[in-house]
Every structure is written in structure tokens, then in C-alpha cells.
């Protein structure tokens, strides 16, 4: 399926929200793999600090908590 026209018709705010959610997913993926650097977690923290999460503030905050929990769990089980 070609999403090009749908993406191009998005407002800056809509596109930013999708990008924020994509960064959150990347942060969760890296938290599940102990070998991965914590790059996306730091990007997500900065997104939250700068207030770029828009209507996704709660999702970003919960994702950051989940990432920290996953990392702690990985340390305990290793």
C-alpha cells in the first residue's frame, strides 16, 4: 500500500506525533536487547523534555517508564 499521499497531506503536528511514536517504539526495541546502545531512549527523553510529544505526553512518559523497567529486568535476569 502506498501511503505517500496520506503522509504528504499530514500537518506538521500530525507528522511530529507519528515520529514521536516511532521513536518510542525504537526505544522499547533497544531496551529489550541488552547489546543495543541506549540512543533512542535518550532521544525520547529529549523529546519529552522539549515538549514535542504533543498529545502523546502520557504515552511518552509511560514508554520511558517501560524502557527503564525493561532495562532493570534485563540486568536482573542476566
Helix, strand, or coil (residue 11): coil
Count CA atoms within 13 Å of residue 16 on its CB side. 13
* pLDDT at residue 62 greater than cutoff 90: no
Query: What's the pLDDT tens digit per position in 30-55?
Result: 888 877 788 998 998 999 899 888 78
* pLDDT at residue 2 greater than cutoff 90: no
Amino acid at each position: 500500500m502506498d501511503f505517500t499521499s496520506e503522509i504528504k497531506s499530514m500537518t506538521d503536528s500530525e507528522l511530529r506525533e507519528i515520529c514521536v511514536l516511532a521513536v518510542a517504539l525504537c526505544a522499547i526495541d533497544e531496551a529489550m536487547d541488552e547489546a543495543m546502545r541506549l540512543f533512542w531512549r535518550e532521544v525520547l527523553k529529549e523529546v519529552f523534555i522539549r515538549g514535542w510529544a504533543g498529545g502523546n505526553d502520557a504515552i511518552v512518559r509511560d514508554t520511558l517508564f517501560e524502557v527503564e523497567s525493561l532495562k532493570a529486568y534485563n540486568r536482573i535476569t542476566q
